[in-house]
Structure 1
Amino acid sequence: MPHTVEWKVSLYLFEEEGTTKARVVLNTGTTELTGHGAARRNPTDMDVPEIGDELAAGRAMQDLGRQLVDVAERDIQGVAAPPTGRSARPETGWPLPDETQGG
């Protein structure tokens, strides 16, 4: 069955005194998550704002990605069968059937 949705992402960058901060907001229409990241320039380094933007934005997106995976794992636990004993918390995806039980 085809499934198409649009999620909106907004990225905000702020720079002040050698520190760049980023905030990324994901709006799925039903949920909103916010990731944060920062980058600090060493005072002896050349001032290249794009590098601070890239680092801070990347870190904010990593934070957001971690939150999104955490939400998905909680959702999986809410609809999946109990853990089989191999791992109390699967990395991603649905738990695999226990092959020793013919599943």
Structure 2
Amino acid sequence: MPTLVGWHVELEFTEEGHRTSAAAMVRLGDGSEMRAHGYAMRHPSDPEQLRVGEEIAGARALMDLASQMLQKAHSEIDEATGRHSYPISH
């Protein structure tokens, strides 16, 4: 029977003027936590659409988390095998 594993991801947003900030945190199955931030800026002449700023800032924070997780995984592979691993780009 397959083992079910889950990660808990949190995203929080702050709005300050034309800037939206996102703070992301993930708790991994090994108990470690990773944190990242993302930002979005609205041009002053653009209409106020908080959801769009949150989506951009949130996506950037999640991309940073993804990069950190890949780095962590490859470090663990390298440590276990004694060789240097290379991430596959898509």
TM-score, normalised via structure 1 length: 0.77
Question: Over alpha carbons, which structure has the higher Rg?
Answer: 1
Task: Give the aligned partner of residue 100 of structure 1.
Answer: none
2:62 partner SS: helix
Task: Give the aligned partner of residue 65 of structure 2.
Answer: 64
1:55 partner SS: helix
Give the total of aligned pairs: 87
- The correspondence of residues 1-103 of structure 1 with structure 2, limited to 5 A, is 2-29=2-29, 30-83=31-84, 89-92=85-88
Q: What is the alpha-carbon root mean square deviation over aligned residues? A: 1.5
- Greater relative contact order (Cα 8 A, min sep 6): structure 1 or 2? 2
Mark the runs of 5 or more structure 2 residues left unpaired by the alignment.
none
Stretches (4+) displaced over 3 A: none
**How far did residue 56 of structure 1 move?**
0.3
Mark the runs of 5 or more structure 1 residues left unpaired by the alignment.
84-88, 93-103
TM-score, normalised via structure 2 length: 0.87
